[in-house]
A = this chain, B = another copy of it.
Amino acid sequence: MAVNRRIVLARRPVGRPRPEDFRLEEVPVPRPGPGEVLVRNLWLSLDPYMRGRMGEGRSYARPVELGEVMVGGTVGQVVEANAPGITAGSFVVGRGGWQEWSVLPAGELRTVDPQAAPLSTALGVLGMPGLTAHVGLRDIARPKPGETLVVAAATGPVGGTVGQLARLAGARVVGIAGGPEKCRLAVERLGFPICLDHRAPDLPGRLRAACPDGIDVYWENVGGGVLEAVLPLLNDFARVPVCGLVAWYNATEPPPGPDRLPALLRLVLTRRLLVQGFIVSDRPEGDFRAEVGALVRDGRLAWLEDVREGLEAAPTALAGLLEGENRGKLLIRLAPLPTA
Protein backbone atom coordinates (compact mmCIF):
# COMPACT_ATOMS: atom_id res chain seq x y z
CA MET A 1 0.00 0.00 0.00
CA ALA A 2 1.30 3.44 -0.92
CA VAL A 3 2.51 5.64 1.92
CA ASN A 4 1.64 9.27 2.48
CA ARG A 5 4.28 11.27 4.30
CA ARG A 6 2.84 14.25 6.11
CA ILE A 7 3.87 16.81 8.70
CA VAL A 8 1.56 17.56 11.59
CA LEU A 9 1.70 20.23 14.29
CA ALA A 10 3.21 18.52 17.34
CA ARG A 11 3.42 21.49 19.70
CA ARG A 12 2.50 25.16 19.65
CA PRO A 13 5.72 27.11 19.15
CA VAL A 14 6.93 29.77 21.53
CA GLY A 15 8.80 32.34 19.48
CA ARG A 16 10.64 30.96 16.46
CA PRO A 17 9.23 27.57 15.38
CA ARG A 18 11.59 24.69 16.15
CA PRO A 19 11.89 21.24 14.60
CA GLU A 20 10.23 19.68 17.67
CA ASP A 21 7.08 21.68 16.96
CA PHE A 22 6.47 19.43 13.96
CA ARG A 23 6.18 15.69 13.47
CA LEU A 24 6.69 13.74 10.26
CA GLU A 25 4.23 10.87 9.96
CA GLU A 26 3.77 8.03 7.51
CA VAL A 27 0.20 6.96 6.93
CA PRO A 28 -1.60 5.12 4.16
CA VAL A 29 -2.48 7.22 1.12
CA PRO A 30 -6.15 8.17 1.64
CA ARG A 31 -8.92 7.25 -0.81
CA PRO A 32 -11.25 9.84 -2.28
CA GLY A 33 -14.89 9.72 -1.26
CA PRO A 34 -17.77 10.91 -3.46
CA GLY A 35 -17.04 14.34 -4.92
CA GLU A 36 -13.41 14.08 -3.88
CA VAL A 37 -10.12 13.84 -5.68
CA LEU A 38 -6.82 12.19 -4.79
CA VAL A 39 -3.89 14.45 -5.65
CA ARG A 40 -0.17 13.72 -5.75
CA ASN A 41 1.29 16.98 -4.49
CA LEU A 42 4.23 18.37 -6.43
CA TRP A 43 4.76 21.80 -4.88
CA LEU A 44 4.03 23.07 -1.37
CA SER A 45 3.90 26.80 -0.72
CA LEU A 46 5.37 28.17 2.51
CA ASP A 47 3.98 31.50 3.62
CA PRO A 48 4.25 33.75 6.70
CA TYR A 49 0.56 33.35 7.61
CA MET A 50 1.33 29.77 8.67
CA ARG A 51 2.96 31.05 11.85
CA GLY A 52 -0.40 32.50 12.90
CA ARG A 53 -2.16 29.17 12.40
CA MET A 54 0.33 27.45 14.70
CA GLY A 55 -0.76 29.57 17.67
CA GLU A 56 -4.03 29.12 19.45
CA GLY A 57 -5.00 32.80 19.56
CA ARG A 58 -7.91 34.18 17.60
CA SER A 59 -6.87 35.10 14.09
CA TYR A 60 -8.72 35.33 10.81
CA ALA A 61 -8.78 31.57 10.49
CA ARG A 62 -9.00 28.78 13.01
CA PRO A 63 -5.69 27.46 14.30
CA VAL A 64 -4.25 24.14 13.20
CA GLU A 65 -5.03 21.62 15.93
CA LEU A 66 -2.27 19.65 17.58
CA GLY A 67 -1.81 16.45 15.59
CA GLU A 68 -3.44 17.97 12.52
CA VAL A 69 -1.65 18.27 9.18
CA MET A 70 -0.12 21.73 8.71
CA VAL A 71 -2.11 23.86 6.28
CA GLY A 72 -0.65 25.03 3.02
CA GLY A 73 -1.31 25.68 -0.64
CA THR A 74 -0.22 22.96 -3.05
CA VAL A 75 0.00 22.21 -6.73
CA GLY A 76 -0.35 18.60 -7.71
CA GLN A 77 -1.55 16.10 -10.23
CA VAL A 78 -4.88 14.33 -10.01
CA VAL A 79 -4.40 10.59 -9.55
CA GLU A 80 -7.97 9.52 -8.91
CA ALA A 81 -11.06 11.64 -9.45
CA ASN A 82 -14.31 10.68 -7.82
CA ALA A 83 -16.13 13.73 -9.14
CA PRO A 84 -17.46 14.89 -12.49
CA GLY A 85 -15.60 17.47 -14.54
CA ILE A 86 -12.14 16.62 -13.32
CA THR A 87 -9.89 13.96 -14.82
CA ALA A 88 -6.88 11.99 -13.68
CA GLY A 89 -3.66 13.49 -14.97
CA SER A 90 -4.78 17.09 -14.79
CA PHE A 91 -2.92 19.57 -12.63
CA VAL A 92 -4.68 21.37 -9.82
CA VAL A 93 -3.99 23.98 -7.19
CA GLY A 94 -5.63 23.69 -3.78
CA ARG A 95 -5.03 23.58 -0.08
CA GLY A 96 -3.42 20.18 0.18
CA GLY A 97 -1.32 20.89 3.27
CA TRP A 98 2.12 19.65 4.26
CA GLN A 99 1.88 16.19 2.76
CA GLU A 100 2.70 14.26 -0.35
CA TRP A 101 -0.80 13.09 -1.08
CA SER A 102 -4.10 14.83 -0.40
CA VAL A 103 -7.74 14.04 -0.77
CA LEU A 104 -9.62 17.26 -1.50
CA PRO A 105 -13.19 18.17 -2.47
CA ALA A 106 -13.27 18.72 -6.22
CA GLY A 107 -15.06 22.04 -5.69
CA GLU A 108 -12.06 23.46 -3.85
CA LEU A 109 -9.60 22.82 -6.67
CA ARG A 110 -8.67 24.95 -9.62
CA THR A 111 -7.08 23.33 -12.64
CA VAL A 112 -3.93 24.88 -14.01
CA ASP A 113 -2.38 24.59 -17.45
CA PRO A 114 1.29 23.62 -17.20
CA GLN A 115 1.86 25.02 -20.71
CA ALA A 116 0.69 28.53 -19.81
CA ALA A 117 3.21 29.12 -17.05
CA PRO A 118 5.41 26.99 -14.77
CA LEU A 119 3.21 25.07 -12.34
CA SER A 120 4.92 26.62 -9.33
CA THR A 121 3.67 30.10 -10.31
CA ALA A 122 0.19 28.95 -9.29
CA LEU A 123 1.49 29.31 -5.73
CA GLY A 124 3.27 32.61 -6.37
CA VAL A 125 2.80 35.37 -8.86
CA LEU A 126 -0.29 33.70 -10.36
CA GLY A 127 -1.55 32.40 -7.03
CA MET A 128 -2.38 33.65 -3.59
CA PRO A 129 0.57 36.04 -3.22
CA GLY A 130 0.08 37.60 -6.65
CA LEU A 131 -3.63 37.96 -6.03
CA THR A 132 -2.86 39.56 -2.68
CA ALA A 133 -0.76 42.19 -4.44
CA HIS A 134 -3.45 42.75 -7.07
CA VAL A 135 -6.43 43.19 -4.74
CA GLY A 136 -4.55 45.27 -2.17
CA LEU A 137 -3.38 47.67 -4.86
CA ARG A 138 -6.79 47.78 -6.48
CA ASP A 139 -8.91 48.17 -3.35
CA ILE A 140 -6.72 49.96 -0.80
CA ALA A 141 -3.39 51.30 -2.03
CA ARG A 142 -4.65 52.74 -5.33
CA PRO A 143 -1.31 54.23 -6.37
CA LYS A 144 -1.59 57.16 -8.75
CA PRO A 145 1.01 58.08 -11.37
CA GLY A 146 3.83 60.01 -9.76
CA GLU A 147 3.04 58.89 -6.24
CA THR A 148 5.69 57.18 -4.14
CA LEU A 149 5.06 53.61 -2.98
CA VAL A 150 7.31 51.86 -0.48
CA VAL A 151 7.16 48.10 -0.07
CA ALA A 152 9.24 45.88 2.17
CA ALA A 153 10.00 42.21 1.60
CA ALA A 154 10.63 43.41 -1.95
CA THR A 155 11.96 40.07 -3.18
CA GLY A 156 9.03 38.13 -1.71
CA PRO A 157 6.16 37.06 -3.93
CA VAL A 158 3.79 39.73 -2.58
CA GLY A 159 6.28 42.59 -2.29
CA GLY A 160 7.91 41.85 -5.61
CA THR A 161 4.57 41.79 -7.41
CA VAL A 162 3.35 44.92 -5.60
CA GLY A 163 6.44 46.83 -6.68
CA GLN A 164 6.20 45.79 -10.30
CA LEU A 165 2.44 46.37 -10.61
CA ALA A 166 2.77 49.78 -8.95
CA ARG A 167 5.55 50.73 -11.38
CA LEU A 168 3.34 49.71 -14.28
CA ALA A 169 0.67 51.99 -12.77
CA GLY A 170 3.13 54.88 -12.91
CA ALA A 171 4.18 55.09 -9.28
CA ARG A 172 7.70 55.77 -8.02
CA VAL A 173 8.60 52.55 -6.24
CA VAL A 174 11.12 52.10 -3.44
CA GLY A 175 11.78 48.57 -2.27
CA ILE A 176 13.16 47.49 1.07
CA ALA A 177 14.74 44.12 1.74
CA GLY A 178 17.08 42.46 4.21
CA GLY A 179 20.70 42.36 3.12
CA PRO A 180 22.62 43.48 0.04
CA GLU A 181 21.99 40.33 -1.97
CA LYS A 182 18.22 40.65 -1.80
CA CYS A 183 18.45 44.33 -2.68
CA ARG A 184 20.52 43.48 -5.71
CA LEU A 185 17.98 40.84 -6.76
CA ALA A 186 15.11 43.30 -6.38
CA VAL A 187 16.83 45.79 -8.66
CA GLU A 188 18.33 43.42 -11.22
CA ARG A 189 15.67 40.78 -11.44
CA LEU A 190 12.45 42.56 -10.46
CA GLY A 191 13.21 45.99 -11.87
CA PHE A 192 12.93 48.00 -8.66
CA PRO A 193 14.54 51.39 -9.37
CA ILE A 194 15.94 51.33 -5.85
CA CYS A 195 15.97 48.89 -2.96
CA LEU A 196 17.22 49.73 0.54
CA ASP A 197 18.79 47.24 2.92
CA HIS A 198 16.94 47.51 6.22
CA ARG A 199 19.82 45.81 8.00
CA ALA A 200 22.35 48.50 7.08
CA PRO A 201 22.71 51.56 9.36
CA ASP A 202 20.41 54.59 9.24
CA LEU A 203 17.44 53.22 7.36
CA PRO A 204 15.41 56.33 8.33
CA GLY A 205 17.94 58.67 6.73
CA ARG A 206 18.37 56.58 3.60
CA LEU A 207 14.63 56.17 3.20
CA ARG A 208 14.12 59.93 3.56
CA ALA A 209 16.70 60.50 0.84
CA ALA A 210 15.03 57.94 -1.42
CA CYS A 211 11.59 59.52 -0.94
CA PRO A 212 12.11 63.26 -1.46
CA ASP A 213 8.36 63.76 -1.98
CA GLY A 214 7.34 61.65 1.01
CA ILE A 215 5.45 58.37 0.89
CA ASP A 216 1.92 58.01 -0.49
CA VAL A 217 1.56 54.26 -0.13
CA TYR A 218 3.32 52.09 2.40
CA TRP A 219 2.56 48.46 1.72
CA GLU A 220 2.91 46.88 5.16
CA ASN A 221 4.37 43.39 4.94
CA VAL A 222 6.70 43.43 7.89
CA GLY A 223 6.17 45.92 10.75
CA GLY A 224 9.23 46.40 12.96
CA GLY A 225 11.97 48.87 12.16
CA VAL A 226 10.81 49.43 8.59
CA LEU A 227 7.47 50.78 9.80
CA GLU A 228 9.32 53.02 12.22
CA ALA A 229 11.37 54.52 9.39
CA VAL A 230 8.29 54.96 7.20
CA LEU A 231 5.91 56.68 9.63
CA PRO A 232 7.50 60.15 9.70
CA LEU A 233 7.58 60.24 5.89
CA LEU A 234 3.93 59.45 5.24
CA ASN A 235 2.16 62.18 3.29
CA ASP A 236 -1.32 63.48 3.95
CA PHE A 237 -3.87 60.96 2.66
CA ALA A 238 -1.30 58.15 2.50
CA ARG A 239 -2.66 54.61 2.34
CA VAL A 240 -1.24 51.76 4.40
CA PRO A 241 -2.62 48.35 3.38
CA VAL A 242 -1.72 46.02 6.24
CA CYS A 243 -0.94 42.75 4.52
CA GLY A 244 1.52 41.16 6.91
CA LEU A 245 3.63 41.87 9.98
CA VAL A 246 6.22 39.18 9.73
CA ALA A 247 8.75 40.95 11.94
CA TRP A 248 6.39 40.44 14.87
CA TYR A 249 5.01 36.97 14.19
CA ASN A 250 7.45 35.26 16.53
CA ALA A 251 7.07 37.86 19.28
CA THR A 252 6.30 36.33 22.65
CA GLU A 253 5.45 39.52 24.52
CA PRO A 254 4.74 43.17 23.75
CA PRO A 255 7.92 45.21 23.31
CA PRO A 256 8.92 47.67 26.04
CA GLY A 257 7.70 51.25 26.05
CA PRO A 258 7.14 53.99 25.47
CA ASP A 259 3.71 53.18 24.13
CA ARG A 260 3.65 54.37 20.52
CA LEU A 261 -0.04 53.62 19.96
CA PRO A 262 -1.19 57.17 20.78
CA ALA A 263 1.42 58.68 18.46
CA LEU A 264 0.35 56.37 15.65
CA LEU A 265 -3.29 57.38 16.01
CA ARG A 266 -2.38 61.07 16.13
CA LEU A 267 -0.52 60.56 12.87
CA VAL A 268 -3.56 58.78 11.42
CA LEU A 269 -5.66 61.80 12.38
CA THR A 270 -3.42 64.70 11.43
CA ARG A 271 -2.29 63.19 8.12
CA ARG A 272 -5.67 61.58 7.40
CA LEU A 273 -4.11 58.19 6.85
CA LEU A 274 -5.99 55.13 5.70
CA VAL A 275 -4.74 52.04 7.52
CA GLN A 276 -6.57 48.90 6.46
CA GLY A 277 -5.96 45.26 7.10
CA PHE A 278 -6.98 42.80 4.44
CA ILE A 279 -6.90 39.12 3.62
CA VAL A 280 -6.89 38.01 0.06
CA SER A 281 -9.70 35.49 0.50
CA ASP A 282 -12.18 38.20 1.55
CA ARG A 283 -12.05 39.89 -1.80
CA PRO A 284 -13.16 39.10 -5.34
CA GLU A 285 -10.44 38.22 -7.83
CA GLY A 286 -11.80 40.60 -10.43
CA ASP A 287 -9.58 40.64 -13.51
CA PHE A 288 -6.52 39.31 -11.72
CA ARG A 289 -6.06 36.24 -13.87
CA ALA A 290 -6.52 38.04 -17.14
CA GLU A 291 -4.36 40.99 -16.21
CA VAL A 292 -1.49 39.39 -14.32
CA GLY A 293 -1.61 36.30 -16.54
CA ALA A 294 -1.03 38.50 -19.58
CA LEU A 295 1.88 40.30 -17.89
CA VAL A 296 3.51 36.98 -17.06
CA ARG A 297 2.94 35.68 -20.58
CA ASP A 298 4.43 38.84 -22.11
CA GLY A 299 7.46 38.71 -19.82
CA ARG A 300 6.56 42.04 -18.21
CA LEU A 301 6.31 40.64 -14.70
CA ALA A 302 9.19 38.78 -13.08
CA TRP A 303 9.39 36.63 -9.98
CA LEU A 304 11.94 34.88 -7.83
CA GLU A 305 11.69 31.39 -6.42
CA ASP A 306 13.58 29.76 -3.57
CA VAL A 307 13.08 26.01 -3.88
CA ARG A 308 13.86 23.49 -1.13
CA GLU A 309 13.78 19.78 -1.77
CA GLY A 310 11.48 17.36 -0.01
CA LEU A 311 8.76 17.55 2.60
CA GLU A 312 11.18 17.19 5.51
CA ALA A 313 12.76 20.54 4.55
CA ALA A 314 9.57 22.43 5.34
CA PRO A 315 9.91 23.07 9.11
CA THR A 316 13.34 24.66 8.88
CA ALA A 317 12.39 26.52 5.73
CA LEU A 318 9.34 28.04 7.44
CA ALA A 319 11.40 29.13 10.44
CA GLY A 320 13.86 30.77 8.07
CA LEU A 321 11.09 32.48 6.13
CA LEU A 322 9.95 34.20 9.31
CA GLU A 323 13.46 35.61 9.66
CA GLY A 324 13.81 36.62 6.05
CA GLU A 325 16.24 33.89 4.99
CA ASN A 326 14.48 33.07 1.73
CA ARG A 327 15.23 34.62 -1.66
CA GLY A 328 11.86 34.98 -3.36
CA LYS A 329 8.83 32.75 -3.18
CA LEU A 330 9.61 29.86 -0.83
CA LEU A 331 8.58 26.49 -2.24
CA ILE A 332 9.01 22.87 -1.26
CA ARG A 333 9.38 20.49 -4.16
CA LEU A 334 7.49 17.41 -2.95
CA ALA A 335 8.04 15.36 -6.07
CA PRO A 336 9.57 15.89 -9.49
CA LEU A 337 7.23 17.00 -12.24
CA PRO A 338 6.11 13.78 -13.92
CA THR A 339 7.31 13.45 -17.47
CA ALA A 340 4.60 12.98 -20.04
Spell out A's residues near B (CB within 8 Å).
Answer: 52, 58-60, 220, 223, 227, 236-237, 242-245, 248, 251, 253-279, 282
Contact = CB atoms under 8 A, between A and B. Distances in A.
B260 A258 contact: no
A266 B245 contact: yes
A60 B258 contact: no
B270 A262 contact: no
A277 B270 contact: yes
A275 B275 contact: yes
Contacts of A227: 265
B255 A262 contact: yes
Number of copies: 2
Given A236-B60, A256-B257, A257-B257, A248 B262 contact: yes
Contact of A272 (B254, B259, B267, B276): B276
Most chain B CB inside 10 Å of its own CB: which residue of A256, A261, A275, A276: A261
A259 B258 contact: yes
Contacts of A258: 253-257, 259
B275 A276 contact: yes
B273 A263 contact: no
A289 to B, nearest CB: 23
B275 A268 contact: yes
A264 B266 contact: no
Contacts of A259: 254-261
5 contacts: A248-B265, A261-B264, A267-B277, A273-B277, A275-B276
B272 A263 contact: no
Contacts of A265: 220, 223, 227, 242, 245, 248, 275
B274 A276 contact: yes
Contacts of A270: 52, 58-60, 277
